[in-house]
Structure 1
């Protein structure tokens, strides 16, 4: 059986065009062919998780059943007295498969867990988000077919963007007006074209053509050198164009299906500070961490009066948030340091913004200072990507 990773092979795009054509025609004429969409989704999931990756497919099926049981179980028991322990247990159980997958290579000599599959992180974020919104009373009922479509929405299943259940359901349950759908198609074609430029031209240039040569030169010189700096910038560009290209494909295909999946990137390299950067980079992930971890942790610390200072609470919140984000990427020292690095950077940024607010009449603000802020932020971010790449581990410890 043919096996393809999403958005990696020209044949995949040809099959997409063929499979999506009836959906486009239906939406143009005011109809959503739900049965056909289900069949197409199943076929593309089979294309991704079938063939040589059949074990991942089995793991995906088991995972979906497990998460559905948790979602429906919590939905049934959430109104009982003293149900907070049920909520906590449900969240822990919901993230448990992801935790096992992340720590398995460390505990098992580099071998992957048999319950792992492509996209398990993003499905977990969706499921946990649903459980938390059920607890908050935002989600009051869950339809089986709707939640399965939400979790297994094939354009975004492998690497996001991370949608929210209610927002997805709002699009899925209705058919956009013809003029609105034509506007969505126009945007979709532009995003797909831009995705090709990003992923198959620019990411290829930086990641396939340039990066191996620069890496070899940096290793040949040993230790710190200008080639390490060149590697830092080249890797950063490769990382952005590859991931942003994938995200543009996912959003473009979603738009064709009448689902307005949120954007993942918004010109992150023109950010004026590190907080601005995280409002532009991998936005659906950073907003998920903000809403479901940072805000809830800060509220808990304020409610329990664990710290008196709001600034201290914010600092602890950021430290916890980015440490979790670091561990989520992988249990290695460079991912953890990457998380700590951003926690320190964002706390220093907060300190600077408070200082700037108190002395705004003394601190100049013009095009030069804005350009300087963008330059500094860009380099701070690129150095974090150098840490993230693991190249320093190869350079100094291999």
Structure 2
């Protein structure tokens, strides 16, 4: 049996197209073969976790069972007319315990610690916590077990997103699109997949495989004659090259997931929207990894803001938004991993967006004194691009490699 990682090579796409062909024909004629779709999803998940990754497959099964018990027990509790805050906090904490263990495990001095966790545990947790929160808010009245299972185990997006929302997914899943709309879906799906090939296997390959190792080789830190430190100019090239690689590799993967979803009649949301033309850091987070950014905005930033306003923790609105940004991005940093560079990455973006808000308020008060033209817009894009690229240099962890290499 073969181990088939998502979108890893052309063979995957050949197998994928053959497997999806009956589903495509059915959707073209206005029918969604849900049983066949479920079988195909389970087959691809089985192939993903076959062989040496079998233990991850067992963990995935246990995780899904655990989250099902938690979600439907909470749904029954909410439908009984009860809505205690402590119960909500408890189920959310229980829901995130698996991903917390996965993030902590690599830092435990145990040779078996790296066996804990499976592809996509973070993204599944985002989906499940979203459902729990919307059950509490009554924006989700009832969760259908079959639709919920398909939502969690939707194989095109299971390993790295994009992060969909239950209500949006259920709306697509529970009907077949009209023929004209599905033809347009196939056109877009084809475009996204070929664009993904360009991004991931050509441009991403050039930046990540051909150029990045060479730039890393020459990005050294060494002592000068006075005993200080000096950076090679290649480090600047590494920063830009890694930023481009990160975007094209991740955006390519996301396009594969979105394109495959469209062939299945599911409009998985896009993850990127020309992030490197952003005019400020807030604009950047409305364009970069959008499903993650919007998830944190809706379920971390907004909820903490409403909680703090209700409890009157911070009266000044500007200070409140700054505290919310800091908590939002700090949690995002910890979510990426319990290493200093991920945490600093989160703090860096929190400070950047706070400074940006201060500047925008100052700009509004002095709009007549501050020029606004094509040059200032171009400078804003240039500045934002460099601020973002430096954050990606932090995110890469490469500075740790350089520092310890010098030490």
Aligned to 1:333: 340
1:250 aligns with 2:257: yes
Aligned to 1:171: 172
Tell me which of 253, 256, 265 is aligned to 2:272: 265
Shift of 1:10: 1.4
| Total equivalences in the alignment | 398
Measured against aligned partners, the alpha-carbon deviations of 1:176-221 in whole angstroms (never above 9, x if no partner) come to 0000001111111110010000000000000000000110111376
> CA 1:329 to 1:110, structure 2 compared with 1: closer, same or farther past 3 Å?
farther
Separation in 2 of the partners of 1:16 and 1:391?
A: 36
Tell me which of 307, 310, 316 is aligned to 2:314: 307
Separation in 2 of the partners of 1:288 and 1:110?
A: 34
CA RMSD in angstroms, aligned pairs only: 1.2
Shift of 1:397: 2.4
Give the unaligned 5+ runs of structure 1: none
Separation in 2 of the partners of 1:107 and 1:291?
A: 32
Shift of 1:143: 1.2
Separation in 1 of the partners of 2:112 and 2:52?
A: 17
> CA 1:221 to 1:113, structure 2 compared with 1: closer, same or farther past 3 Å?
closer
C-alpha contact 1:104 1:111 (8 A) present in aligned 2: no
Aligned to 1:54: 54
Q: Which moved more, 1:121-130 or 1:107-116?
A: 107-116
Q: TM-score, normalised by structure 2?
A: 0.96
- The residue correspondences of 1:1-398 to structure 2 (distance < 5 A) are 1-78=1-78, 79-81=80-82, 83-108=84-109, 112-219=113-220, 223-398=230-405
C-alpha contact 1:199 1:242 (8 A) present in aligned 2: yes
Shift of 1:109: 5.2
Q: TM-score, normalised by structure 1?
A: 0.98
Separation in 2 of the partners of 1:95 and 1:51?
A: 28
Separation in 2 of the partners of 1:139 and 1:82?
A: 14
Measured against aligned partners, the alpha-carbon deviations of 1:110-133 in whole angstroms (never above 9, x if no partner) come to 754544100000000000000000
C-alpha contact 1:191 1:248 (8 A) present in aligned 2: yes
> CA 1:221 to 1:237, structure 2 compared with 1: closer, same or farther past 3 Å?
farther
Separation in 2 of the partners of 1:67 and 1:127?
A: 7
C-alpha contact 2:281 2:384 (8 A) present in aligned 1: yes
C-alpha contact 2:173 2:266 (8 A) present in aligned 1: yes
